[in-house]
Chain A
Amino acid sequence: MTDSGLPPSPCSIDAATDTSPRVTLARLEPWGAWVRLNEPPALVAIDQTGARALGIRGEHVWLPSTPQHPPQHPPQCNDSPSAASLPIEVHVAVTSRCSVGCEGCYLDATPHGTDPPARDLETTFDALASAGVFTVAFGGGEPTLRDDLNALAVAARARGLTPVVTTSGIGLNPDKIEKLRAFAHVNVSYDGAGPSYASVRGFDASRHAEAAITQLHNAGIAVGVNIVLTRDTFDALPATVERAVSLGATQVQLLRYKPQGRAKSITYMQKRLSSSQSSALPSVLRRLSRDYYPRAHVRIDCALVPFLSSDSEIYRNPTLLERWGIFGCEAGAHLGATRADGTLAPCSFASATDDAVAARDIAMHWPTSASIGAYRNFAHQAPEPCASCNIRRICKGGCKVVSEALTGIIAADPECPRVIAGRASTLTEQAPQP
């Protein structure tokens, strides 16, 4: 829903006059439009003047410039709860089956899970495309267990959606790899060699993951890696990245370990990053960027954004984060998810709720669902220390899944360095004076 009372308007592609693969999809927003570029691959937020320059007419949606909505207001920084835009990226659980059984699986996927029927997924794709979603990330259990994975990716593309997928890489063979060709990007879960991998997943399948990266790269398929950051994998991160890039990964996606699914256990407290590791993340990112740009792109997930607050240079300059489109917790806002049962969620980690609605009804219920809105709206009324934080508009209060698991409510991320410092300061003030 936009401030003007209209939902974002998707712009579909008329394939009859365009046979070029380099197509553009745009979505009107109150501030201008999102425009998707295929080369270079990017989502670009442009203001109303820029949209007009591209021939996009949005007067029926565009808001006039106001102090609350200046013309150069980055889209992820809208402070108004009513500006509940529909997602631009949705994570779709195409199965809840997985035969691997990782210790930290956030969905608790098992070999006995289920596959949503293809026709249901296609109905979901229809709804997402109509809502103006750009990207669908296939996940859940292990997507490559589905024989119709390629057909589903093709179905997503036919609707103007960009499909991407995450796989463990275990069990990939030439036939399965060929079925991944329709995806814009394939990420392989790879937490490092031997002990690092095993520390996250409970077994060592790193050689399978490495073989998958190599095979995908050799097949000409864009491949990246997902690296879960834990106390045990953090120190090995430079070596893990070096190994992944040497095998052909062009993208390194760093993920925060989160207490959900099988990871929601007492072991979480031992596995999560230590405070010193969290605070060291920005300097590690600097080093990795220096060493690998532009050979491989370093990415962080939304849940790692709070850790950027420990970096004084980044903290002083939130505009940098805004303009490079860094997303903090966009659950229920720019990010959404669908579960294997076809219901919507604010993100793929979020627990099921009583008011879950069908993904096919996303346009109608996304703006009004209480459970989805709870994730989205926290940042608008965030208490201290989030309220006065320089990067609050990007961070959005940190990971709600972590705060719910550790505090029982949606609250300021309890693992954020700034929140930890604030807590320590409060305790010091409250301590009895000698």
Chain B
Amino acid sequence: MKQHAAEHPGDHATSLPASGDSIAPCNILAVRLGHSGNCSSVGSVVDTLFVTAAASGAIVAAICAAMATQRNRIESQPREDALCNKTHPPQPGPTDPSDGVATSIDELSHD
């Protein structure tokens, strides 16, 4: 196998994000690439297990870059129609009454 531990997703860097609008490779726990068109069992890309370190690094860099181009804003929204939230009481913590339900991401800027 051509890969080493340092070439796994998330293992490329140790620095934390410096600002609120970027994400570092070390924050990536797992990457599931592509859409599977299969309807009978869940599929996973495996060629990334065998590609060169440079290729796997490029994939992770592309993932981080895609995330870095998005400035995200989170808005809490009451989602009383969500059955899952009706059946489980909110956890102690945030005082915002809409926390603990659903949130929405609005992309505010695009390159």
Contacts and interface: CB of A to CB of B under 8 A. Distances in A.
Interface of A: 1, 4-7, 9-14, 17-18, 20, 22-26, 28, 31-32, 35, 37, 39-47, 49-57, 59-61, 72-76, 86, 89, 91-92, 106, 127, 130-131, 135, 137-140, 143, 162, 164-166, 183-187, 222-224, 226, 251, 253, 255-256, 258, 285-286, 288-290, 292-294, 297-303, 305, 313-314, 317, 319-327, 330, 334-335, 347-349, 361, 363-364
A267 to B, nearest CB: 19
Contact of A140 (B39, B49, B66, B107): B39
Contacts of A41: 33-35
Nearest to A296: B47
Interface in B6-58: 8-11, 16-17, 19-24, 26-51, 55
Contacts of B50: 285-286, 289-290, 293
Query: In terms of DSSP, what is the predominant structure of the interface of chain A?
Result: mixed
Given A49-B16, A286-B50, A5 B37 contact: no
B29 A46 contact: yes
B11 to A, nearest CB: 7
8 contacts: A42-B32, A42-B34, A52-B20, A56-B72, A137-B37, A302-B41, A317-B5, A324-B44
B36 A299 contact: yes
Contact of B9 (A13, A76, A253, A324): A324
A137 B40 CA distance: 8
Chain B contact-residue range equals: 35 or more
Contacts of A224: 36-37
Given A14-B104, A325-B30, A299 B44 contact: yes
B36 A323 contact: no
Given A24-B72, A299-B43, A299-B45, A162 B32 contact: no
B34 A317 contact: no
A159 to B, nearest CB: 12
A106 to B, nearest CB: 6
